[in-house]
Amino acid sequence: MTAREFAVAALRAPQRHYRWTWLLVLSLCLAPFALLAWEYAAQRLGVNPFERLSHFTGTWALNLLLVTLAVTPGRRHAVRLARAAGAPYGRRYSDWNWLVKLRRTLGLAAFFYALLHASVYLGLDLGLELRSLVRDLSEKPYIVAGMTALALLALAAGVIGLVLLRGVRADNQVLVIAHRGASAYAPENTLAAFEKAIEQRTG
How much is the pTM? 0.70
Quick one: CA torsion of 28, 30, 34, 37, rounded to 10 degrees?
A: 150
Summarize pLDDT for 6-62 with one digit per residue, the tens: 777 888 888 888 899 999 999 999 999 999 999 989 989 888 888 899 899 999 999
Q: Where are the domains of the chain?
A: 3-168, 172-203
Split at pLDDT 50, 70, 90, the class of 127 is low
Give the end-to-end CA distance of the chain in Å, rounded to a whole number.
34
Q: Phi-psi category of 43—alpha, beta or left, where left has phi over 0 and alpha has psi -120 to 50?
A: left
Phi, psi values for residue 58, rounded to 5°: -65, -40
- 125: part of which helix (H) or strand (E)? none
Summarize pLDDT for 66-78 with one digit per residue, the tens: 999 999 899 999 8
Cα angle 140-130-65, degrees, rounded to a multiple of 5: 55
